[in-house]
Chains A and B, each alone.
Chain A
Amino acid sequence: MRPDLEIIQQWIEPDSRVLDLGCGDGSLLHYLNLQKNVSSIGLEIDADNIRQCIDNGVNVIEQNMDAGLDNFQTDSFDTVLLTQTLQALSNPRRLIEEMLRIGKKGIVTFPNFGNWKCRLYLASKGRMPVSRFMSHQWYDTPNIHFCTVRDFDDLCRDMAISVLARTVVDSQHQGSWAERAWPNLLGEIAIYHISRG
């Protein structure tokens, strides 16, 4: 399992209801179904991923969340997940609003553009950062809304969202004391546990 998913699963209550927005191949939900006995549904648009979800025994709905989540009832889930998808959405703010309407709590993870490597890349080369971790060129990237840890903190404040927990990890998904001290500088992936304020 991806180490960021390892962190996330600690925040999921047993027997709760979980909605995963952009659930990929369904490996996290598969794990949560087995280990936490959750009842879960994933949203996905990639055909191969959907097929994998079915093979994983994960309930998956083919739906583009950029077109809205009106079909999900208010308070119908305990936790709504959004892992590594925020930056690819056309309207991230609206989606976070929707997450916290549908679920009591939300978990968001995203690549931190404030990481020192990004800053150094841009400062020294004068080009949009490309790395193993963010491997697309600016013109063909699905990632259209990059943000930093500080940006996301601001958005939460703006939207009166409570941050229940915040963790940053590096590309090996290891957290250290230094990352806790300077998350926006050292963290590569940000992981937020949030709820309505």
Chain B
Amino acid sequence: MPQSDIMSRQFPKQSVGLVSPQLFHFDEELKLRSGKVLKGFDLMVESYGQLNAQKSNAVLICHALSGDHHAAGYHSHKDKKPGWWESCIGPGKPIDTDRFFVVSLNNLGGCAGSTGPASINPQTGTYYGPDFPVVTVRDWVNSQVLLMKRLEISCWAAVVGGSLGGMQVLRWAISHAQSLQHAVCIAAAPKLSAQNIAFNEVARHSIISDPNFHAGRYLEEGVAPKQGLMLARMVGHITYLSDNAMRSKFGKTVEDFEAPGSNFGRDLRSGKLSYGFNVDFQVESYLHYQGERFSENFDANTYLLMTKALDYFDPSVDYGGDLSKAFSESDCKFLLMSFSTDWRFPPERSRELVNDLLKAGREVTYLEIDADEGHDAFLLPIPRYLEGLGAYMNQVFQKDCSNAA
């Protein structure tokens, strides 16, 4: 594209358009769940829309495993892809930036600007690497509370997240119920199943067994465990898609999919079988591509931390295993949603949450969305999903963010 075209490029109408992140430094000590203490840290934050005079229209977005602060809009005119939740956040979208002040951050331990393993440890003068403490969902939420105070917001109209982000929403509702009006928890689970943890362990093991991992000190060595991270992402990706989603993506000829001339019929990548151990099928090349791209942009130590945060999440441990007791003080309202073909956090897991909320006498709305896209559905523009979320957020706005509020 010529430079002039790039500069004059129009963003889609329902996008927040050009956005820039902002780094917040915190001098506060953050006592972590592990007992360790983080003495000062940075959080990379983006916001969209305007905070109203009553400061009653703020919405916090919590990101999932590989997400970051860049939830919507574009960082430059050259950006091909918008933020990770562009389908839901923007003017006129379910989380309407004409109405809400939307805050999104990169969580601690991340690799998109917030303090994490790839940051310099002020005490040693080199990368934290494996010395970065294991952080939990609770630690993230505690850091988000500090961010809320910094922004001088006393109560979120809603805290919203999918998957691991939904778990942060639950933690907000359990530990800081007075600081949110609505908890919107999408495609999440009360805790991981053994199968979920097993997949995470395969991902972690593939990273740490990469010869370039160097016990987590790869940055000092000037290398990166790309093969391991790629493999981890490939495994992860399989769990994000449903069987049906893969079938429709790779099970038929798609002429306009990529380069013309590629034969995608019967899943084949190049028209005939190689009778060797090369990439024969389109799904293989898709996974390779996704894995490779991810391994170039993501920090392996962060991936280890994020999967551990998932594994450790279980708010019921403080309540003798009874999650309903965890919600006994959670007098915010709840919206939960799940997707029919999600086998990572299937509808049954959301129903467990609904049942515990009902047992605790909470106000809850629950939608089970028919969608072929598996766990990934929560990121995609599925009509019933967007409509349901939009209708709910409209109520949030009408009831809790209007001038009377």
Which A residues contact B (CB, under 8 angstroms)? 17, 39, 41, 47, 50-51, 53-55, 57, 59-63, 71-73, 76
Contact = CB atoms under 8 A, between A and B. Distances in A.
A61 B395 contact: no
B364 A47 contact: no
A59 B363 contact: yes
A61 B364 contact: yes
B270 interface: no
Given A41-B364, A59-B364, A73-B359, A54 B395 contact: yes
21 contacts: A17-B361, A39-B363, A41-B363, A47-B384, A50-B388, A51-B388, A54-B392, A55-B391, A55-B394, A55-B395, A57-B395, A59-B363, A59-B364, A59-B365, A61-B364, A61-B365, A62-B368, A71-B355, A72-B358, A73-B358, A76-B361
Q: What are the 9 closest A-B residue pairs judged by CB atoms, nearest first?
A: A54-B391, A71-B355, A61-B366, A62-B368, A59-B363, A59-B365, A62-B367, A57-B395, A60-B365
B214 interface: no
Interface in B376-405: 384, 387-388, 391-392, 394-395, 399
A71 B355 CA distance: 6
Contacts of A55: 391, 394-395
B351 A71 contact: yes
The A interface is mostly helix, strand or loop, or mixed, namely mixed
A8 to B, nearest CB: 22
Interface of B: 333, 351, 354-355, 358-359, 361, 363-368, 384, 387-388, 391-392, 394-395, 399
Nearest to A56: B395
A61 B368 CA distance: 9
Contacts of B359: 73, 76
Nearest to A53: B365
A59 B395 CA distance: 11
A50 B336 CA distance: 13
A55 B394 CA distance: 8
A41 B394 CA distance: 19
A71 B388 contact: no
Given A39-B363, A51-B388, A54-B365, 6 more contacts: A41-B363, A55-B394, A61-B365, A61-B366, A71-B358, A73-B359
A63 B367 CA distance: 9
A106 to B, nearest CB: 18
A122 B194 CA distance: 59
B395 A76 contact: no
Contacts of A54: 365, 388, 391-392, 395
A55 to B, nearest CB: 5
Contacts of B368: 62
